[in-house]
């Protein structure tokens, strides 16, 4: 089994990796916070959160604050574990190649 | 080549984790200013308001009230300065001065601080002046350590220093004033300068 097998394809994208990093250190964030932190457009962000949601790495919660729709994101336990594994794989790859 | 990309990934992860959970634009210069305000307040108090040796400061006396007024002035000037300088720095870092990170920062800072403040006021109103300096230092230190999770983590070292000073102060009654000057004046100036040089270098 090569080292590359531990690299998680889902996290092999800047924005999805970013979303997950933020959810590792924050209990929850809403759509607008993510948008600001990652500097992405609505549509772009939505498609990447969908991918993470499908993989069961994050939970999406939709609600209303007054009349404004508010979407919040949480990371799941399996998401956190997958992320940690991915980081370890990255670190190993860097160590091996240097 | 590949490993460069992964290294970039790791750096970006670290940066996002910090930016999303901490307010990193806390200004070092505002620390220096807070220290200077405290020293000026202390000098004024020392020259004009401290009671003659051998006499005690009583509650409701005019100089006690003035000392409280100076304390409040030092505190509010420090807060206003910190706010102004930090929002300037936040603008430069493209960070919002009022967001979830600053809210968490304020709450975690204010809970220990207000607890201490109220406790000190209760003690003062029952004529227990002795430990005021020490209690102020200790609770301020705890507030800093608590808040350091949501801002520059170096803030915690200032917190530890304040607590150590507060405990020594408690063991040496009668020198509260001098420990206060050391903790709120000198330590702030030292910490602020260290942070300021770090900022300039970055």
Q: What percent of chain B has pLDDT over 90?
A: 56
Please tell me what DSSP assigns to residue A5. G
CB atoms within 10 A of CB A85: 14
pLDDT at A5: 65
pLDDT at B158 over 90: yes
Could you report the predicted ipTM of this complex, rounded to two decimals? 0.82
pLDDT at A13: 86
Q: Contact at 8 Å (CB) between B192 and B30?
A: yes
DSSP per residue over A30-72, as a string? EHHHHHHHHT--HHHHHHHHHHHHHTTSEEEEEEEETTEEEEE
pLDDT at B2: 67
Contact call for B13 and A26, based on CB within 8 A: no
- pLDDT bin (cut points 50, 70, 90) of residue B29 is very high
pLDDT at B60 over 80: no
Q: How far is B104 from chain A (nearest CA, A)?
A: 11
Q: Cα–Cα distance between A14 and A16 in angstroms, integer?
A: 6
* CB-CB neighbors (< 8 A) of A45 in chain B: none
Name residues whose C-beta falls within 8 Å of residue A20's C-beta, 6 or more positions apart in sequence: A11, A52, A57, A58, A75, A79, A83
Q: Cα–Cα distance between B156 and B143 in angstroms, integer?
A: 9
Q: How far is CA B20 from CA A6, B160, B175, in A?
A: 27, 25, 43
Q: Is A76 on the interface with B (CB under 8 A)?
A: no
Report the half-sphere exposure of A44 (CA within 13 A, side-chain side).
14
For residue range A26-76, what is the model confidence (pLDDT) as tens digits?
Answer: 988 999 889 988 989 999 999 999 999 999 999 999 998 888 888 999 999
* CB-CB neighbors (< 8 A) of B96 in chain A: 36
């Amino acid at each position: 089994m090569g080292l590359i097998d531990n690299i998680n394809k889902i996290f092999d994208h800047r924005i999805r990796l970013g979303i997950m990093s933020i959810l590792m250190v924050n209990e929850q964030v809403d759509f607008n916070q993510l948008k600001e932190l990652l500097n992405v457009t609505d549509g772009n962000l939505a498609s990447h959160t969908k991918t993470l949601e499908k993989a069961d790495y994050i939970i999406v919660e939709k609600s209303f604050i007054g009349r404004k729709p508010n979407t919040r994101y949480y990371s799941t336990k399996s998401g956190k574990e997958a992320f940690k594994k991915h980081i370890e794989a990255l670190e190993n790859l860097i160590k091996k190649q240097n | 080549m590949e490993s460069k990309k992964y290294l970039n990934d790791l750096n970006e992860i670290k940066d996002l984790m910090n930016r999303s959970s901490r307010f990193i634009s806390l200004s070092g210069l505002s620390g220096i200013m807070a220290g200077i305000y405290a020293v000026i307040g202390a000098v004024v108090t020392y020259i004009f308001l401290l009671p003659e040796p051998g006499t005690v400061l009583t509650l409701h006396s005019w100089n006690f009230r003035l000392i409280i007024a100076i304390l409040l002035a030092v505190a509010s000037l420090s807060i206003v300065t910190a706010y102004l300088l930090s929002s300037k720095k936040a603008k430069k870092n493209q960070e919002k001065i009022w967001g979830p990170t600053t809210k968490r920062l304020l709450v975690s800072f204010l809970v220990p601080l207000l607890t201490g403040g109220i406790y000190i006021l209760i003690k003062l109103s029952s004529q227990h002046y002795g430990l005021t300096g020490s209690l102020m230092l200790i609770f301020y230190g705890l507030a800093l350590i608590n808040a350091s999770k949501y801002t520059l983590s170096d803030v915690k070292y200032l917190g530890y220093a304040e607590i150590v000073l507060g405990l020594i102060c408690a063991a040496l009654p009668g020198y509260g004033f001098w420990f206060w000057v050391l903790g709120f004046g000198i330590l702030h100036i030292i910490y602020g300068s260290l942070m300021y040089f770090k900022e300039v270098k970055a």
